[in-house]
Structure 1
Amino acid sequence: MATIYTAELNPSKREFVTAWLDNQFWGGSGEIELIGTYRFDDTSGEVGLEGFVMRREERILHLPVTYRGAPIDGADDYLISQTHHSVLGDRWVYDAMADPVGIHMLNQALAGEIQQAEYHFYNEDGQYLGSEDSAITLYIRGELPENWGTVSVHHVLDHLDEDGGELRRLVGRWEDASATFFELTPEPEPQTAPIPMMDE
């Protein structure tokens, strides 16, 4: 369950997402149109992951971020923003692919161990306002590999509604489109060196 407060963020999500995209080679330029978001929450409740799916120019872009109550040591290059939440206080926003807890959540999701979080809204006084379905629905495709491997992200969603092959992946669906958001690259099989033959 994702607990979402109708609170103020300074800078806002639109501001820090736009600033980060402006500095990425794949991020394009111009105004952003938000298609939708999805969320995962870690079991300790300390770190949240939110993925943004956006139109910018002629591209559809995907940016997963994590929210933390304290900075990650040694991860300054992946800090998207430090923002102030009017209920939760100071929050540190990171590129989710550089956050070990974010990667752990994505591994859990690819394994089918956790589902995307439901959205439950509260006002700043803690009063429950209701729930809402995400505009993005995630589902798993592909087979589980024997050698688990590495999670990679698709930032530019060029290949909409394509099958994507046999790789284990998280696919997002919205409106009348879908695309692979994350995929698992299996570890290569270990190579066994041939036994050298001795001359007689």
Structure 2
Amino acid sequence: MAHIYSHTTLKPTKRELLSAWLPTRPWYQRSATAPELTPGRGFRLDDPAGEVGIEFHVIAEGTVVYLVPVTYRGAPLAGAPEHALVGTMEHGELGKRWMYDAGYDPVAVAQLLAAIEGRAEVQEQSVSDTAAKGFTRAYEGEGALETGEFSTSDSADGTGIRLPGGPVLRLARTLPAALPADALGRLVGPLVLPDGSATDTVFATLHA
């Protein structure tokens, strides 16, 4: 299980790194000023090996709410494209950390598939070893999902991750998101906004 260092320091902060990186993404809705980000309540997934942090941020900018899943690593992710690196930070307990777009990180993709299949439990974002409430999942395909080599592409509509054998894992990038009719799998949970209001949303879906 991941240990959450709730009282440590980060330089630069996650919000500072995301404020600079978000405007570079094709699914970001352009504004005339620098992003002013307000965090909502996200969630985490655990890396079974305990090496990679996996965090799903819910971030509001004005009336737009983004899903921004990231990973934290103790060394650069081999083979990752340059734009997948959100930035680097100094962690008060762990030292230098590399922060990546989770859609390009094989550990995050594998654990998200495991959550959709019911093999991994969604965790609270800011509390160690605590299951997040209100999440549901489903997988209606045949056989276990393969988590070998994959290809990721971003567009104005979001992020698609093509898996071995052809299925596509889609990450919702603007929330709330509805469930597509052709989804073979899904991860659904509460979208809790900065003002405390909540509604259910689809975070990720799987398609043939």
Tell me the equivalent position of 1:117: 123
Identity of counterpart residues, as a percentage?
A: 34
Tell me the equivalent position of 2:79: 74
Tell me the equivalent position of 1:2: 2
Tell me the equivalent position of 1:165: 181
Does the 8 A contact of 2:116 with 2:186 survive in 1?
yes
Report deviation, 1:178: 1.6
Query: Which one of 142, 150, 155 corresponds to residue 146 of structure 1?
Result: 142
Aligned AA (1:46): E
1:91-147 Cα deviation digits (max 9, x unpaired): 1111101011111111111110010124546xxxxxxxxx8775x843214x42127
In structure 2, relative to structure 1, the CA distance for the partners of 1:180 and 1:108 (3 Å cut) is: same
Tell me the equivalent position of 2:148: none
Report deviation, 1:3: 1.1
Partners of 2:106 and 2:24 in 1: CA distance: 23
Does the 8 A contact of 1:65 with 1:96 survive in 2?
yes
In structure 2, relative to structure 1, the CA distance for the partners of 1:154 and 1:163 (3 Å cut) is: closer
Partners of 1:172 and 1:115 in 2: CA distance: 12
1:47-104 Cα deviation digits (max 9, x unpaired): 1110011211221110000111111122133111111101000111111010111111
Aligned AA (2:99): V
Tell me the equivalent position of 1:45: 50
Aligned AA (1:171): V
Tell me the equivalent position of 1:198: none
Tell me the equivalent position of 1:26: 27
Does the 8 A contact of 1:68 with 1:92 survive in 2?
yes
Partners of 1:120 and 1:177 in 2: CA distance: 21
TM-score, structure 2 as length reference? 0.74
Q: Does 1:181 align with 2:181?
A: no
In structure 2, relative to structure 1, the CA distance for the partners of 1:146 and 1:133 (3 Å cut) is: closer
**Runs of 4+ residues deviating >4 angstroms:** 131-134
Aligned AA (2:200): S
Report deviation, 1:19: 1.3
Q: Which blocks of at least 5 consecutive residues in structure 2 are unaligned? A: 146-166
Partners of 1:26 and 1:95 in 2: CA distance: 13
Partners of 1:180 and 1:86 in 2: CA distance: 34
For the aligned residue pairs, the C-alpha RMSD in angstroms reads 2.2
Does the 8 A contact of 1:34 with 1:55 survive in 2?
yes
Report deviation, 1:172: 2.4
Q: How many residues align?
A: 173
